[in-house]
């Protein structure tokens, strides 16, 4: 098996080192009209490939380049292709809404379904709804696989779902660790939030927010303010994908947190002061290893998707 660097060089090289595999990097040429061509020097006839992709910045461009690359790999003779895409952009757009008539997650899934991949591996996919759009074998490395031991080390605490969408993910943590859970429930009238309630006991408790994505930080900030006003004694957050695409918070204090952990699923030039980044390479390599030592058909496992 070979590793193919499809835009996440740091992670591709780290996983290649962990699994003792060779890593190759294709070339891209951009034409004046904006189209791309892909070149691969190696002969891939009969090879099994693990493609390490990235689509979290310049999203549309990177998806197009990834799709072209996957086709090129098949044309060069690859017999099986596993795509590892740590973060699936558009995954939050998993249904049509009042201000978005497109089901964008389904569009992306259909593009990947039509590609020559045999398996898609990702980190903490956004929702079961997003997962349902993929017809190719899907393996989800759960948030618990990444953060479980760190949260266990905090001792007795309450797991917090900062909104309804994070509820199932938080329940997995609470059940695995034998901890209590509290849900922040936003009551809405139309598109407007009419009231916010905490379902669960947090007074005098250490609390841990669990979620898959932090971008502007507004969801976490609003949850933290509510929890502080209801008497929590400490507040940490463990969030898989740190997008921070704009209006990056200056520090943890501006978010109302004592501690914030994210993974290195997304490459950053700038993070809020005090954010701790988990190197997920070892966990990812361990979870992907069965695909590197067995037939692709034997790696069809769907882990807990929240």
Q: Does residue 32 sit in helix, strand or coil?
A: coil
User: What confidence score (pLDDT) does residue 56 get?
Assistant: 82
233, 205 contact by CB (below 8 A): yes
* Closest residue by Cα to residue 213 from 273, 166, 255, 168: 166
User: What confidence score (pLDDT) does residue 291 get?
Assistant: 60
CA atoms within 13 A of residue 80's CA, in its CB half-sphere: 18
pLDDT tens sequence across 198-226: 999 999 999 999 999 999 888 899 999 99
Q: Does 227 have pLDDT greater than 70?
A: yes
For the question of residue 128 being annotated catalytic, the response is: no
User: What confidence score (pLDDT) does residue 290 get?
Assistant: 73
Q: Does 246 have pLDDT greater than 90?
A: no
Integer Cα distance of 204 and 150 in angstroms = 21
Pairing of strands 80-84, 234-242: unpaired
Four-CA torsion 64, 67, 70, 74, nearest 10 degrees: -120
pTM (2 d.p.): 0.90
pLDDT tens sequence across 13-60: 999 999 899 999 999 999 999 999 999 999 999 999 999 999 888 899
pLDDT tens sequence across 88-129: 999 999 998 888 899 999 999 999 999 999 999 999 999 999
User: What confidence score (pLDDT) does residue 301 get?
Assistant: 38
Structural domains in the chain? 2-142+282-299 (3.40.50.2020), 144-278 (3.40.50.2020)
Q: Which of 18, 186, 206, 304 is catalytic?
A: 186
User: What confidence score (pLDDT) does residue 25 get?
Assistant: 94
Any idea what the Cα angle at residue 214 is, between residues 209 and 220, rounded to 5°?
45
């Amino acid at each position: 098996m070979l590793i193919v660097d499809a835009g996440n060089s740091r992670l591709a090289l780290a996983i290649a080192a962990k699994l003792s595999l060779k890593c190759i990097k294709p070339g891209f040429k951009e034409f004046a009209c904006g189209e791309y061509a892909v070149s691969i020097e190696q002969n891939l006839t009969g090879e099994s490939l693990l493609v390490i992709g990235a689509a979290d910045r310049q999203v549309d461009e990177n998806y197009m380049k990834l799709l072209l690359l996957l086709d090129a790999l098949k044309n060069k003779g690859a017999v099986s292709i596993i795509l590892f895409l740590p973060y699936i952009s558009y995954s939050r757009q998993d249904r049509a809404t009042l201000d978005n008539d497109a089901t964008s997650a389904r569009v992306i899934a259909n593009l990947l379904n039509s590609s020559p991949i045999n398996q898609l591996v990702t980190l903490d996919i956004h929702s079961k709804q997003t997962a349902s759009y993929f017809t190719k074998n899907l393996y989800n490395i759960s948030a618990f696989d990444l953060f479980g031991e760190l949260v266990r080390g905090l001792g007795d605490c309450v797991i917090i779902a900062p909104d309804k969408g994070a509820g199932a993910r938080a329940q997995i943590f609470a059940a695995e660790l034998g901890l209590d859970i509290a849900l922040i429930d936003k009551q809405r009238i139309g598109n407007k939030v009419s009231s916010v309630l905490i379902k669960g006991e947090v007074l005098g408790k250490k609390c841990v927010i669990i979620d898959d994505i932090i971008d502007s930080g507004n969801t976490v900030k609003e949850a933290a303010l509510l929890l502080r006003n209801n008497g929590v004694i400490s507040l940490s957050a463990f969030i898989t994908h740190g997008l921070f695409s704009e209006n990056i918070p200056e520090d943890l204090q501006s978010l109302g947190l004592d501690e914030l952990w994210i993974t290195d699923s997304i490459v950053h030039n700038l993070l809020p002061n005090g954010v701790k980044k988990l190197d997920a390479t070892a966990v990812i390599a361990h979870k992907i290893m069965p695909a590197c030592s067995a037939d692709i058909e034997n790696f069809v496992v769907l882990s807990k998707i929240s």
